[in-house]
Amino acid sequence: MATAGKVIKCRAAVAWEPSKPLVMEEIEVAPPQAHEIRIKIVATGVCHTDLYHLFEGKHKDGFPCVLGHEGAGIVESVGSEVTKFNPGDKVIPLFISQCGQCRFCKSPKTNLCEKGWASDRYDVMSESDTRFTCKGKKVLQFMGTSTFSEYTVVNEIAVAKIHPSAPLDKVCLLGCGVATGYGAALNTAKVEPGSTCAVFGLGAVGLAAVMGCKNAGAKRIIAIDINPTKYEKAKVFGATEFVNPKDHNKPISQVLYEMTNGGVDFSLECVGSVAVMRSALESCVKGWGVSVLVGWTDMDDFAARPIQLIAGRTWKGSLFGGFKSKDGVPKLVNEYLEKKLKLDEFVTHNMTLAQVNDAIQLMKTGDCIRSVLSVALQ
């Protein structure tokens, strides 16, 4: 590549401050340093966690930044000591690293990693170090990835090499939303054949959780959302029933209790609301019900009566669907290529990076499942 070793000037959508529209700017992307990879981003999804940082978390030290963490692209160049990636490789940057060396990476019990932004900067949601500058200012790399840019630089412990035939405008969704919901059902909840499940929230993460429940062999999958237009989409992924809490004058947990003779075996909260988390727990059957928190939030405390857990329910959380990132994502790409996993059905809008604010608005109003932005030409 003619650009190797040089600063690249390219287009990116910069979030200069919280709650304001993103601005298309020309930024400078420095060459990769040791153990780093510079990636040309071809496609990116717009995920609710991007909106969370912009409109809810709003941590003052987390701006200016380039958002985006659900992308796919092609290796442009590699830094020194990188041996497993070459220019031209198709890759997915990962917001959870997998160094392979820390105590978490060595444990089969978790997909967490001690390296990278996620170990101690959950509030700011980026490392203090960055390869981006714009107008003489340092611009942070959101979740270590920043896929709302034509080029980005990522540490090799947070990059997955994928099958060369994978369509980047589809498999980008495995960088966050689809892997998160799908794995929450399979890996974290460990949904069992013949079971009854409830999924709260039918965005991309919730629909992926529905798909995970179906692939695990669940008999009843109850999809729950306050937007009735989501039911037809949920059926595509395997939902057997739909409940709109607005149609009932009693708590949703009571509705599910009556529908299921005492509660569901598994529930997954895919909204990021502490009130919905409580409802999801209280919808589980006593004795063995498992409820999983999937929606991302760090804004409020959650609450429940102790008897809910004393009576035998389990309450647990899931990050990136429990997949060890570098190992799991290439396998998910292969499952998609083998038609064992749906991705195309999540994409409701195809747009350009310059339309990113329109895509954000679509997600705010619930009028899309996933918008995929074309970023750089392949």
Q: Mind listing the pLDDT tens digit for each residue in 177-224?
A: 999 999 999 999 999 999 999 999 999 999 999 999 999 999 999 999
What topology is assigned to 190-317 in CATH? Rossmann fold (3.40.50)
Q: Which CATH superfamily is domain 8-34+47-140+152-177+322-374 in?
A: Medium-chain alcohol dehydrogenases, catalytic domain (3.90.180.10)
Q: Mind listing the pLDDT tens digit for each residue in 277-302?
A: 999 999 999 999 999 999 988 878 99
Q: Mind listing the pLDDT tens digit for each residue in 257-280?
A: 999 999 999 999 999 999 999 999
pLDDT category at 365 given cuts 50, 70, 90 is confident
Spans of all domains in the chain: 8-34+47-140+152-177+322-374, 190-317
Label each residue of the chain as H, E or C. CCCCCCCEEEEEEEECCCCCCCEEEEEEECCCCCCEEEEEEEEEECCHHHHHHHHHHCCHHHCCEECCCCEEEEEEEECCCCCCCCCCCEEEECCCCCCCCCCCCCCCCCCCCCCCHHHCCCCCCECCCCCEEECCEEEEEECCCCCCECEEEEEHHHEEECCCCCCHHHHHHHHCHHHHHHHHHHHHHCCCCCCEEEEECCCHHHHHHHHHHHHCCCCEEEEECCCCCHHHHHHHHCCCEEECHHHCCCCHHHHHHHHCCCCECEEEECCCCHHHHHHHHHCECCCCCEEEECCCCCCCCCCCCHHHHHCCCEEEECCHHHCCHHHHHHHHHHHHHCCCCCCHHHEEEEEEHHHHHHHHHHHHHCCCCEEEEECCCC
pLDDT at res. 123: 67
Q: Is the pLDDT of residue 98 over 80?
A: yes
Q: Mind listing the pLDDT tens digit for each residue in 105-136?
A: 999 999 999 987 666 666 677 777 899 999 99
Taking all residues of the chain, what is their mean pLDDT, rounded to a whole number?
94
